[in-house]
Amino acid sequence: MAWLLFLVFLGYAGYEKLTAVPPDTVDKPYIMGAALILAATAVVPFFISYLLTRATQLTGRTPAIMIGFISAVTLSVVGYGLVWKYYSGAVDLPVPFEDALKLGLIPGLAMGAILALDSFLRRRA
Protein backbone atom coordinates (compact mmCIF):
# COMPACT_ATOMS: atom_id res chain seq x y z
CA MET A 1 0.00 0.00 0.00
CA ALA A 2 2.89 2.37 0.71
CA TRP A 3 4.14 2.12 -2.85
CA LEU A 4 0.71 2.90 -4.28
CA LEU A 5 0.32 5.96 -2.07
CA PHE A 6 3.86 7.03 -2.92
CA LEU A 7 3.17 6.75 -6.65
CA VAL A 8 0.07 8.91 -6.24
CA PHE A 9 2.13 11.45 -4.29
CA LEU A 10 4.92 11.34 -6.88
CA GLY A 11 2.45 11.86 -9.73
CA TYR A 12 0.93 14.84 -7.98
CA ALA A 13 4.33 16.32 -7.14
CA GLY A 14 5.47 15.91 -10.76
CA TYR A 15 2.27 17.50 -12.04
CA GLU A 16 2.74 20.38 -9.63
CA LYS A 17 6.34 20.92 -10.79
CA LEU A 18 5.29 20.97 -14.45
CA THR A 19 2.37 23.33 -13.97
CA ALA A 20 4.30 25.74 -11.71
CA VAL A 21 5.61 27.65 -14.74
CA PRO A 22 3.89 28.90 -17.91
CA PRO A 23 3.57 26.18 -20.58
CA ASP A 24 5.81 27.96 -23.09
CA THR A 25 8.78 27.88 -20.68
CA VAL A 26 8.65 24.11 -20.10
CA ASP A 27 11.58 22.72 -22.08
CA LYS A 28 13.97 19.81 -21.76
CA PRO A 29 16.37 21.44 -19.23
CA TYR A 30 13.44 22.43 -17.00
CA ILE A 31 12.01 18.90 -17.10
CA MET A 32 15.42 17.42 -16.32
CA GLY A 33 15.85 19.82 -13.39
CA ALA A 34 12.39 19.01 -12.04
CA ALA A 35 13.11 15.29 -12.36
CA LEU A 36 16.40 15.74 -10.49
CA ILE A 37 14.68 17.62 -7.69
CA LEU A 38 11.97 14.95 -7.45
CA ALA A 39 14.59 12.22 -7.37
CA ALA A 40 16.62 13.96 -4.65
CA THR A 41 13.69 15.03 -2.48
CA ALA A 42 11.23 12.20 -3.03
CA VAL A 43 12.39 8.99 -4.71
CA VAL A 44 15.74 8.36 -2.99
CA PRO A 45 14.60 9.49 0.50
CA PHE A 46 11.45 7.36 0.27
CA PHE A 47 13.37 4.27 -0.81
CA ILE A 48 15.92 4.62 2.02
CA SER A 49 13.25 5.45 4.61
CA TYR A 50 11.11 2.54 3.47
CA LEU A 51 14.04 0.16 3.92
CA LEU A 52 14.76 1.59 7.39
CA THR A 53 11.10 1.31 8.35
CA ARG A 54 10.87 -2.29 7.20
CA ALA A 55 14.09 -3.22 8.99
CA THR A 56 12.93 -1.75 12.30
CA GLN A 57 9.41 -3.18 12.22
CA LEU A 58 10.72 -6.32 13.87
CA THR A 59 11.47 -4.41 17.08
CA GLY A 60 8.11 -2.71 17.46
CA ARG A 61 5.63 -0.35 15.86
CA THR A 62 6.60 2.92 17.56
CA PRO A 63 10.31 2.86 16.60
CA ALA A 64 9.44 1.93 13.01
CA ILE A 65 6.88 4.73 12.72
CA MET A 66 9.22 7.34 14.21
CA ILE A 67 12.31 6.23 12.28
CA GLY A 68 10.41 6.20 8.99
CA PHE A 69 8.90 9.62 9.57
CA ILE A 70 12.07 11.30 10.82
CA SER A 71 14.30 9.76 8.15
CA ALA A 72 11.91 10.75 5.34
CA VAL A 73 11.82 14.38 6.46
CA THR A 74 15.56 14.57 7.12
CA LEU A 75 16.61 12.94 3.87
CA SER A 76 14.23 15.10 1.85
CA VAL A 77 15.62 18.32 3.33
CA VAL A 78 19.21 17.11 2.88
CA GLY A 79 18.43 16.08 -0.71
CA TYR A 80 17.11 19.52 -1.54
CA GLY A 81 20.15 21.14 0.04
CA LEU A 82 22.46 18.94 -2.06
CA VAL A 83 20.60 19.76 -5.26
CA TRP A 84 20.82 23.46 -4.46
CA LYS A 85 24.53 23.27 -3.68
CA TYR A 86 25.70 21.13 -6.60
CA TYR A 87 23.14 21.74 -9.35
CA SER A 88 21.79 25.26 -9.02
CA GLY A 89 24.78 26.89 -10.66
CA ALA A 90 25.15 29.32 -7.78
CA VAL A 91 28.48 28.05 -6.47
CA ASP A 92 29.08 30.74 -3.88
CA LEU A 93 25.45 31.11 -2.87
CA PRO A 94 24.65 28.68 -0.05
CA VAL A 95 21.00 27.84 0.36
CA PRO A 96 19.52 29.47 3.43
CA PHE A 97 18.49 26.82 5.92
CA GLU A 98 14.94 28.15 6.01
CA ASP A 99 14.54 27.74 2.23
CA ALA A 100 15.92 24.19 2.24
CA LEU A 101 13.67 23.35 5.16
CA LYS A 102 10.61 24.86 3.52
CA LEU A 103 11.14 23.30 0.09
CA GLY A 104 12.24 19.90 1.38
CA LEU A 105 9.81 19.68 4.27
CA ILE A 106 6.59 19.25 2.31
CA PRO A 107 7.71 16.13 0.40
CA GLY A 108 9.31 14.80 3.58
CA LEU A 109 6.15 15.22 5.62
CA ALA A 110 4.02 13.56 2.93
CA MET A 111 6.40 10.61 2.66
CA GLY A 112 6.70 10.35 6.44
CA ALA A 113 2.91 10.20 6.74
CA ILE A 114 2.74 7.49 4.06
CA LEU A 115 5.42 5.43 5.81
CA ALA A 116 3.84 5.91 9.25
CA LEU A 117 0.43 4.87 7.96
CA ASP A 118 1.89 1.83 6.21
CA SER A 119 3.82 0.78 9.31
CA PHE A 120 0.79 1.26 11.53
CA LEU A 121 -1.49 -0.76 9.25
CA ARG A 122 1.10 -3.46 8.68
CA ARG A 123 1.55 -4.05 12.42
CA ARG A 124 -2.18 -3.97 12.99
CA ALA A 125 -2.92 -6.76 10.51
Q: Could you state, in order of their start, the residue ranges of all structural domains in the chain? A: 2-124
Whether the CB-CB separation of 9 and 121 falls below 8 Å is answered with: no
3-state secondary structure of 26: coil
- The residue ranking higher by pLDDT, 14 or 120, is 14
CA atoms lying within 13 Å on the CB side of residue 50? 15
| pLDDT score recorded for residue 46 | 93
* Structure confidence by residue, pLDDT tens digits, 90-104: 556 666 767 777 778
pLDDT band at 89 (very low <50, low <70, confident <90, very high): low
* Structure confidence by residue, pLDDT tens digits, 36-72: 889 998 999 999 998 888 877 666 666 778 888 899 9
